[in-house]
Chain A
Amino acid sequence: MALTKQEIAKRIAQELKHNTYVNLGIGIPTLVANYIPKGIDVEFQSENGVLGMGPFPFEGEEDPDLINAGKQTITTLDGAVLFDSATSFAMIRGQHVQLTVLGAMEVSENGDIANWKIPGKMVKGMGGAMDLVASADNIIVAMMHTNRQGESKILKRCTLPITGVNCVKKIVTNLAVLEVTQNGFKLLERAPGVSIEEIKTATEADLIIDHKIPEMNFN
């Protein structure tokens, strides 16, 4: 069975390292905060100017002066701090934020990512994505393996205008976990019950498969 968006987030949460600062993008990445493994302490940064972001507020406790980069109302945890946008991107550009998780429309086998523009159709802007992918040490992409038309989003080369070059380290999709290596995409794990053949069929790029590919473990 292919993973749900929640399960993609749950699998990515296994990548969180103890005592690190993490920036979560809009969409599936936001859900990662719901599945932090026991014993792992992380602080979430949102590029509009908060570190130590907590869960969404209870109804009636929303504060218009407290939002995340997706413009959703949030809360802060003990130890949180608020700052201006230049300080926020100093944390990002200066590589003080250790992990970035973000969504993508396309990823290519050399680690390029496209997620900000579809010429003639959708031009919302890059927001903080270009700064994030240009600087983060570790970048994990959370996305569906194929687009709404059923076409592979994992490509030899990106077809859309790119957001950053040579930056993605790992991809978790509804079908698989892939690592971006110097030689291209390496298949690391399969979604439970999904065969290697199914993953190959859904992937335009070549896959390096050099051992028995285990199923993702959610226990």
Chain B
Amino acid sequence: MINKVVKNIEEALSGVESNMTFMVGGFGLSGIPENAIAALSKKDIFGLTCISNNAGVDDFGLGLLLKRKQIKKMISSYVGENAEFERQMLSGELEVDLIPQGSLAERCRAGGAGVPAFFTPAGYGTEVEEGKEVREYNGKPHILESALTADFAFVKAWKGDTAGNLIFKGTARNFNPLMAMAGKVTVAEVEELVEAGELDPNQIHTPGIFVQRILQGEKYEKRIEKRTVRTKE
């Protein structure tokens, strides 16, 4: 068994530098690596390129890094819900590359799977197509999208073991397994870290081979972005 455990978030982040490319898991605020983001927001690293489906909210998630202007470029599919983000984007301080969500997911997966590029119908005939090769398959136009990788991928899982195997919960899975595959160094933070052998190998979502460092997160706020309920009749 190859032990992937690091003793704290400082050790988990060792090697991060300015101008690096990071992948950050999560959809909205669900399944984001809260502890890694909090620690990164205290480091003096700037000029970052962040690949993440969303950009957090003003005071939580990647919003914390945006507030300190640590991010130079965001690669995302949906960036509403964040006023500071919008301000930096419209003023030109922040470079933004918007990508269809399915293409973003597949580009991360491809990056981790050794597939350099693929054709997809998403974005054909739109701004997304600009500068990309178009080819017809089965009578339908498709555009060429390239794989994405990152210097570091920060992901969050529900449970993990010392070998780096991960199990996610609910819709907090989202981009995390794909980004775990595509990081040169993947840092997985989990709510509960157990000894290798305690997780059923049949139930593991992300094999530990994709994870270089694992730790149990110190605390999780797990903020809900849009609490929506129904009333009992």
Tell me, yes or no, whether B80 is within 8 Å of chain A by CB: yes
Cβ–Cβ contact B126 & A124, under 8 A: no
Q: Which A125-177 residues have C-beta < 8 A from chain B?
A: 125-131, 134-135, 161-166
> Contact: B174 with A84, CB < 8 Å?
yes
Q: Mark B35-71, 1 if CB is under 8 A from A, else 0.
A: 0000000000000000001000000000000000000
Q: In whole angstroms, what is the CA distance A68 to B224 when docked?
A: 12
Q: How far is the CB of B174 from chain A (nearest CB, A)?
A: 5
| B98 in contact (CB, < 8 A) | yes
Given A64-B223, A71-B225, A162-B126: A85 and B27 within 8 A (CB)? yes
A62-B227, A71-B30 known; A127 vs B101 contact (CB < 8 Å) = yes
For B232, the chain A residues whose CB sits under 8 A away are 58
The distance in angstroms between the C-alpha atoms of A130 and B105, with both chains bound, is: 13
Q: Bits for B204-233, please: 1 = Cβ < 8 Å to A, else 0.
A: 010000000000000000111111111110
Q: Which residue of B is nearest A63, CB measured?
A: B170
Q: For B79, what are the chain A residues with a Cβ–Cβ distance below 8 Å?
A: 123-125
Would you list which residues of chain A between 40 and 72 have a CB under 8 Å from chain B? 46-50, 55-59, 61-72
Asked if A100 CB lies within 8 Å of chain B CBs, one says no
Contact of B124 among A50, A127, A134 (CB under 8 A): A134
Please, which residue of chain A has its CB at the minimum distance from the CB of B223? A64
A86 within 8 A of B: yes
**Separation of A147 and B105 alpha carbons in the complex (Å):** 33
Chain B contact-residue range equals 35 or more
One of A88-96, A190-198, A208-216 contacting the partner: A88-96
Interface core residue of B108, B226, B229 (most chain A CB under 10 Å): B229
Contact of A89 with B125 in the complex, beta carbons under 8 Å: no
1/0 per residue, CB under 8 A from A, across B162-188: the answer is 000000111111111110000000000
Distance from A78 Cβ to chain B, minimum over Cβ atoms (Å): 16
* CA of A96 to CA of B66, assembled, Å: 38
Cβ contact within 8 Å between A128 and B102: yes
Residue of chain A at shortest CB distance from B228: A72
Interface residues of B (CB under 8 A from A): 27-31, 53, 76-81, 86, 89-90, 96, 98, 100-106, 108-109, 120-128, 158, 168-178, 205, 222-232
Q: Which residues of A contact B (CB under 8 A)?
A: 46-50, 55-59, 61-74, 82-86, 88-89, 92-93, 112, 117, 120, 123-131, 134-135, 161-166
What are 7 A-B contacts defined by CB distance under 8 Å? A56-B229, A58-B232, A67-B27, A89-B101, A89-B102, A130-B122, A134-B124
7 closest A-B pairs by beta carbon, nearest first, are: A89-B102, A131-B102, A65-B170, A124-B80, A165-B125, A85-B105, A130-B100
